[in-house]
């Protein structure tokens, strides 16, 4: 690594090397004092002609690097390892192209110094080969003494934000009282969701955290997107950049994020994990209309099966259990013992985020609205660091819907998944939260085959499958509703006081593993299918 500054225009060089035990240290050179002849060891030297390694380090500086800059030369495991075609160790498969992609994914924006962009360039050396679409004028050909030629490519690092298409819709949402912003960008078809050459950047949009211009926690996983209510239909065209405040020792009482010592990841003030769930819930509570419209349009274009009578059927089944399945909301109260942040929702005054999909009773309520609570109280999002006090209030209804679709390969082993931050629309009915059921899972596929071929072979197979899917969907929703109603329930008492089921416990009960397990061995499902199918399709085949 050679650094050039106006004060040290000849450069200052150090060498980071790894010993046989895998430990990294600075290489030390023997240096002779010109006046005294004394030999000493230095780990920072002026670049020199190094015959031991066949390189004149003083000649490494490129012509375009002027007053200030740093040159990093990446070597192999030995002084004579050939790294032109990438890492000589086939187990690692590291290349200069991989470095360009890494830096473009790690830097959100290219930093500036004194108003000028700090350019980062990768000098990629390789043997000549055909490179379609690349101008030869961009390359430098070097002929070696052996007669062999090598080609030098210059690749500039531009940062992740450079690859977000400009032909996109964007905005931002404030997701906590600390001023954390989520910048969202949606790229409509047919524009590619990621611009630029695939050699230089990530292949898909991502979720990441912006920390002083660097991208941390870069992910494209379904689970991360779903925390923000960005469903699979639009995930591949949506970028989310979370920008929390940076923690400062000068303001130690203010919340912020900072890096671990390794700079590999971020943590919150005090060492806690980043509040992904809280950020996601707050973003979903203010879900951008552009993203909601894109999601709904994508859903209307696909062939995923839903039940148009879902609201009516769920109301009939769950209303019977409603006295036990009572919901709980956190409402603002001056004397409340719990804390939360304003969700922008009001009890008794439903907005687009709190629709009431159906009434659990035909009798009108004297007061309250779609939320099912009286008055116009402020509904809070629970948060231990919230700035508003509140207390819980029982409400009814608020059931999620269900939807049958095909799971991606990474989740194909599961039967069902609950997405709390998802909407499902059936006509004028809007469900908050959706249970997805995997129509390609062998358990369901075998059930479809059994009922259509062994039990009612003469009936319309599509109608038989519709019945099976409806009953499984209702069972899955009932499981989720019951689990969520357990929140706040006292289950035991120990030396520290009551043991109460909390939010984390409920999340485990409705996790993809727990919900999939709940779909196995449902004897009551078989009985319900037989009873309902008998009236629709007649007596079961012998």
Q: Which of 372, 395, 418 is the last residue of a domain?
A: 395
Q: Are residues 463 and 494 in the same domain?
A: yes
**Own/partner pairs, 519-526, CB within 8 angstroms, 24+ separation:** 519/415, 519/416, 519/437, 519/443, 519/472, 519/475, 519/476, 520/415, 520/443, 522/472, 522/475, 524/475, 525/471, 525/472, 525/475
Q: Are residues 174 and 129 in the same domain?
A: no
Q: Are residues 365 and 406 in the same domain?
A: no
**Own/partner pairs, 440-444, CB within 8 angstroms, 24+ separation:** 440/406, 440/407, 440/412, 441/407, 441/412, 441/414, 441/415, 443/415, 443/519, 443/520, 444/415, 444/468, 444/472
Q: Are residues 123 and 235 in the same domain?
A: no
DSSP, residue by residue, 246-265: BP-TTSTTS--EEE-TTSSS
Is the model's pLDDT at 351 over the cut of 50? no
Q: Are residues 59 and 174 in the same domain?
A: no
Gap between the Cα atoms of 441 and 407, Å rounded: 9
Q: Are residues 466 and 319 in the same domain?
A: yes
pLDDT of residue 365: 32
* Number of domains the chain is built from: 4
Burial classification of residue 94, based on how many CB atoms lie within 10 Å of its CB (0-12 exposed, 13-18 middle, 19 or more buried): middle
Q: How much is the mean pLDDT over the chain? A: 80
Q: Are residues 459 and 379 in the same domain?
A: no
Gap between the Cα atoms of 240 and 235, Å rounded: 10
Residue 174's pLDDT band, with cuts at 50, 70 and 90, is: very high
Gap between the Cα atoms of 14 and 2, Å rounded: 7
Is the model's pLDDT at 98 over the cut of 90? no
Q: What is the arithmetic mean of pLDDT over 523-541?
A: 87
Question: For residue 19, which of 75, 77, 59, 95 has the smallest C-alpha distance?
Answer: 77
Beta strands in 247-387 (DSSP E): 257-259, 266-268, 327-332, 338-346, 378-382
289-325 pLDDT, tens digit each: 999 999 988 877 765 555 566 666 666 666 555 555 5
Q: Which of 395, 428, 453 is the last residue of a domain?
A: 395
Q: What is the arithmetic mean of pLDDT over 192-213?
A: 87
* Enclosing domain of residue 8: 2-157
Is-above-0.85 flag for pTM? no
Q: Are residues 226 and 283 in the same domain?
A: yes
275 and 178 in contact (C-beta within 8 Å)? no
Q: Are residues 229 and 148 in the same domain?
A: no
Gap between the Cα atoms of 271 and 257, Å rounded: 9
State the Cα torsion 15-19-25-29 to the nearest 10°: -50
Is the model's pLDDT at 392 over the cut of 90? no
Gap between the Cα atoms of 451 and 469, Å rounded: 12
Q: Which of 125, 157, 189 is the last residue of a domain?
A: 157
480-520 pLDDT, tens digit each: 988 988 888 888 888 887 888 888 899 999 999 999 999 99
pLDDT of residue 411: 93
Which comes out higher in pLDDT, residue 511 or 133?
Answer: 511
Q: Are residues 315 and 443 in the same domain?
A: yes
Question: For residue 299, which of 448, 445, 434 has the smallest C-alpha distance?
Answer: 434
Percent of the chain with pLDDT over 90: 38
Gap between the Cα atoms of 404 and 421, Å rounded: 17
Q: Are residues 165 and 279 in the same domain?
A: yes
Which comes out higher in pLDDT, residue 100 or 419?
Answer: 419
Q: Are residues 309 and 291 in the same domain?
A: no
Q: Please name the helix (run of DSSP H) or strand (run of DSSP E) that holds residue 442, with its range, or none.
A: helix 442-449
Is the model's pLDDT at 531 over the cut of 80? yes
Give the 3-state DSSP-derived string for 216-246, with helices as H, strands as E and coil as C.
EEEECCHHHHHHCCCCHHHHCCEEEEEECCE
């Amino acid at each position: 690594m050679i650094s050039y500054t106006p004060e040290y225009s000849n450069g200052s060089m150090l060498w980071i090397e790894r010993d046989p035990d895998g430990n990294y240290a600075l290489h030390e050179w023997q240096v002779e004092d010109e006046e005294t002849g004394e030999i000493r060891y230095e780990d920072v030297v002026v670049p020199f002609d190094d015959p031991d390694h066949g390189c004149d380090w003083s000649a490494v500086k490129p012509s375009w690097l002027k007053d200030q800059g740093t040159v990093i030369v990446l070597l192999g495991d030995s002084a004579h390892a050939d790294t032109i075609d990438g890492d000589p160790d086939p187990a690692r498969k590291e290349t200069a192209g991989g470095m360009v992609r890494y830096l473009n994914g790690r830097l959100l924006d290219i930093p500036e110094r004194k108003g000028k962009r700090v350019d980062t360039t990768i000098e990629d050396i390789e043997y000549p080969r055909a490179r379609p679409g690349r101008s030869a004028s961009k390359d430098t050909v070097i002929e070696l003494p052996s007669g062999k030629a090598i080609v030098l490519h210059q690749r500039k690092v531009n940062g992740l934000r450079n690859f977000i298409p400009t032909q996109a819709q964007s905005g931002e949402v404030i997701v906590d009282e600390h001023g954390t912003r989520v910048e969202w960008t949606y790229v409509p078809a047919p524009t590619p969701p990621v611009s630029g050459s695939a050699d230089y950047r990530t292949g898909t949009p991502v979720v990441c955290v912006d920390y002083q211009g660097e991208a941390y926690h870069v992910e494209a996983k379904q689970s991360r997107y779903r925390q923000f209510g960005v469903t699979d239909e639009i995930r591949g065209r949506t970028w989310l950049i979370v920008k929390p405040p940076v923690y400062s020792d000068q303001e130690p009482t203010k919340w912020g994020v900072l890096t671990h010592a390794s700079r590999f990841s971020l943590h919150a003030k005090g060492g806690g994990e980043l509040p992904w769930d809280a950020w996601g819930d707050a973003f979903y509570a203010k879900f951008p209309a552009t993203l909601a419209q894109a999601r709904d349009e994508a859903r209307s274009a696909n062939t995923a099966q839903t039940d148009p009578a879902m609201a009516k059927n769920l109301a009939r089944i769950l209303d019977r259990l409603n006295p036990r399945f009572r919901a709980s909301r956190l409402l603002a109260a001056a004397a409340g013992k719990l804390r939360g942040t304003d969700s922008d929702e009001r009890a008794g005054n439903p907005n687009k985020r709190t629709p009431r999909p159906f009434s659990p009773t035909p009798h009108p309520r004297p007061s309250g609205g779609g939320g099912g609570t009286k008055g116009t109280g402020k509904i809070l999002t629970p948060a231990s660091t919230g700035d508003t006090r509140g207390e819980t209030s029982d409400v009814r209804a608020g059931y999620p819907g269900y939807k049958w679709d095909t799971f991606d390969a990474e989740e194909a082993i599961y039967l069902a998944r609950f997405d709390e931050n998802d909407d499902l629309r059936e006509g004028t009915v809007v469900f908050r939260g959706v249970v997805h059921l995997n129509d390609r899972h062998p358990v369901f596929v075998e059930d479809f085959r059994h009922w259509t071929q062994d039990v009612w072979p003469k009936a319309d197979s599509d109608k038989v499958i519709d019945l099976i899917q409806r009953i499984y969907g209702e069972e899955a929703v009932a499981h989720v509703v019951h689990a969520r109603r357990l929140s706040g329930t006292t289950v035991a008492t120990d030396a520290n006081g009551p043991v109460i089921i909390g939010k984390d416990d409920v999340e485990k009960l409705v996790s993809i593993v727990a919900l999939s397990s709940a779909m196995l061995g449902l004897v009551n499902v078989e009985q319900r299918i037989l009873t309902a199918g008998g009236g629709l399709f007649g007596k079961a085949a012998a």
